[in-house]
Amino acid sequence: MARWDEMEKDFRDYEARIQRLKEVEPVVQTLEKADLPSEIKEQVLAVKRQLKAPLKADWVDQQMSGIKGRLAPVITITSETGALQRGIWTDVTLVIRNAGAAAARNISVSSQDSVEIEGTLHVEELPAGGQKRLPIRIRCSSVSDRLDLLLTAVAEDIFGSKHSYRQKVSFEIAESPGVINAPAKEATTPVPARPAKAFEPQPTGISTFPPEMASLYYDAVFIGRGGFARVFRARRKLDNRIVAVKLPLALDEGTGRGFIREIRVWEDLKHENIVECFDCNVLPVPYLELEYMEEGSLEDFIAKYGRPLPVPQVISIGLGIARGLKYSHSIPPNGIIHRDLKPGNVLLSGSLVPKITDWGLSKVVAESKRSTRSGFAPLYAAPEQISAKKFGPADKRTDIYQLGVILYEMATARTPFRGDDIAEVMSQIINEEPEPPSNINPEAKTLEPLILKCIAKKKEERYQRIEDVETALLGCLRNEYAQSLALSQGDGARSAYFTAQLFLLNIREGDAAAALQYCIQMKEYLRDSRDIEELADELRYLADRGLGVSEALRKRAEAVAGMLTKS
């Protein structure tokens, strides 16, 4: 009976997917008519093509989430007036701008209660790239020589969702030559217009958390620095969640411009193998709020291990990186290329799930006159990044090369090319062949053809698509588990472990027929085989009809197989 209940559940899941796609359809129709940037239009059309494919419902949801993120307003507030006179009503013009890709609606602005403000702080609609001047009057009786006006803007996107933005606009306060606390209707003393100090971060040491961020985070701890940024672990005041806060080392006009433009790309990348960017802004200082990864970087993990990683672990981490790249390479219209993959840019969760970080930051740094970073790490550079004239421009195959270098390092505990200086390393990358991984670690023999194909000097000789790398890695993992299973005959615990791993591998890939083969074998290792028998019946049903494995079935299968894979 349970088997049929589960089958009915799978069918309900299928119908739910159809319903989800129906709900997306009118949204897509609205977006088709909207005035949107061409790249977002392409993404909308890609979604439209999948609206009749229920098995693509999760992908559609993911894409729609990205589209909504890209269409969120980006509201900034500045002032055309830079000074107030103490105790006197002063005319001030606030400028509200929408730097987003779509219109913002019903924008309302509020401030802290300690400041008196007269005037309308509301804008009905602000188109993408548009701005609106709001004439207001401010009276401040503070004894301080400076007023930090904390403003909160709430705006609706084209979907009706609300977004909140916190801004600080600073004014100098001068002594009033006239009457203190003059009535609101009286004429005001003219105040010379000057730019507001809306962005004036206080200088801090590299390991010091900026005081301007104290309103957003607490318990900040410096955890490292990279080529252009420093990173802190901090708790978010909004919900006490631990996050990573990344701040650029250089604070100049170029970094500010690039920050908004480039980081918007990262905000759209939503995948289990990509570090999530929760928030970013240029105020109160330029910062990124990122998912915090407790295990740190793959670079640190390799260093702590001190020797080549086990081949199954190399493949598992490599698969996660490949899947993150597969997602980014598929973003319409032409995909997003990382171009700076290295172990330091791959972070690990507590369960060692790899997640790619630092998307597009090297391009942001290129805007900064103070940066000396080249945009890639020489040890992991592809030949075309060193000599575009000889090898052509960087493209998606550049990411494949860099993934190959990471696989090489995990499998051998060293990079394929080393030297006393950068020039020597770059010369080797262009002119010399790497030592076969199996010469350093015989266990890496199964991965050697894959790794060497990834790091071929000519792009045409590498895997041409990241999907091909993923398929090759899966083949290697199957072979690794199958060989280990064959060698474990007579050892019940090891045989059970590798049978369960092969079962899980096929379940996660949605191959019901292959999973069924190992499901039947798993009966030998479990005392109570009722759950296994039900799984086998369901897999047989799915395999006979060419259906995929549902999420509910996958979770049940993982729970059952977990009894055999626990060490």
pLDDT for 196 equals: 40
- Tens of pLDDT, residues 344-381: 999 998 888 999 988 854 333 333 333 333 455 788 99
DSSP conformation letters of 26-48: HHHHHHHHS---HHHHHHHHHHH
Same-domain pairing of 529 and 547: yes
Same-domain pairing of 59 and 149: no
**Domain extent for 322:** 298-478
Same-domain pairing of 459 and 343: yes
State the CATH number of the domain containing residue 453.
Answer: 1.10.510.10
Residue 100 to residue 70: CA distance in whole angstroms: 8
Task: Please state whether beta strands 90-98 and 75-79 pair in parallel, antiparallel, or not at all (unpaired).
Answer: antiparallel
Domain count, the chain: 5
- Tens of pLDDT, residues 143-181: 677 777 778 888 888 888 888 777 778 788 877 554 333
Residue 35 to residue 51: CA distance in whole angstroms: 22
pLDDT for 364 equals: 32
Same-domain pairing of 448 and 515: no
Same-domain pairing of 234 and 278: yes
- Tens of pLDDT, residues 504-537: 888 888 888 989 988 888 888 876 667 888 888 8
Tokens of 232: 């802190």
pLDDT for 254 equals: 60
State the CATH number of the domain containing residue 159.
Answer: 2.60.40.10
Same-domain pairing of 227 and 101: no
Is residue 206 included in any domain, yes or no?
A: no
Same-domain pairing of 325 and 459: yes
Main-chain phi, psi angles of 552, to 5 degrees: -65, -40
Same-domain pairing of 329 and 432: yes
- Tens of pLDDT, residues 406-458: 999 999 999 999 887 888 889 999 999 999 999 999 999 999 999 999 999 99
Residue at which a domain ends, from 429, 444, 478: 478
- Tens of pLDDT, residues 277-295: 888 877 788 888 999 998 8
Q: How open is the CA angle 252-254-257, to the nearest 5 degrees?
A: 110
State the CATH number of the domain containing residue 249.
Answer: 3.30.200.20
Inform me whether the pLDDT recorded for 10 exceeds 80.
no
Same-domain pairing of 85 and 62: no
Same-domain pairing of 110 and 216: no
Neighbours of 134 (CB within 10 A): 18
Of 31-40, 77-86, 97-106, 186-195, least confident by mean pLDDT is 186-195
Same-domain pairing of 239 and 219: yes
- Tens of pLDDT, residues 284-336: 888 889 999 988 899 999 999 889 999 999 999 999 999 999 999 988 888 88
Q: Is 301 exposed, middle or buried (0-12, 13-18, 19+ CB in 10 A)?
A: buried
Name the more confident of 395 and 36: 395
Same-domain pairing of 234 and 276: yes
Is residue 331 included in any domain, yes or no?
A: yes
Top mean pLDDT of 210-224, 276-290, 316-330, 549-563 is at: 316-330
Inform me whether the pLDDT recorded for 193 exceeds 60.
no
HEC assignment per residue over 170-228: EEEEECCCCCCCCCCCCCCCCCCCCCCCCCCCCCCCCCCCCHHHHHCEEEEEEEEECCC
Is residue 186 included in any domain, yes or no?
A: no
Is residue 201 included in any domain, yes or no?
A: no
pLDDT for 359 equals: 81
Is residue 183 included in any domain, yes or no?
A: no
Average pLDDT, the chain: 81
Is-contact 191 102, C-beta < 8 A? no
Average pLDDT (388-393) is 91
Residue 118 to residue 306: CA distance in whole angstroms: 65
Is residue 386 included in any domain, yes or no?
A: yes
pLDDT for 111 equals: 76
Residue at which a domain ends, from 430, 459, 478: 478
- Tens of pLDDT, residues 76-103: 888 888 788 887 888 888 888 888 778 8
**Spatial CA neighbour of 120 closest among 128, 103, 132:** 132
Is residue 126 included in any domain, yes or no?
A: yes
- Tens of pLDDT, residues 444-484: 999 999 999 999 999 999 999 999 999 999 999 988 888 88
pLDDT for 347 equals: 95
Is-contact 256 367, C-beta < 8 A? no
How crowded is the C-beta side of 351, counted as CA atoms within 13 Å? 4
Is residue 193 included in any domain, yes or no?
A: no
Residue at which a domain ends, from 70, 99, 117: 70
Beta strands in 425-477 (DSSP E): none
Is this structure's pTM higher than 0.85? no
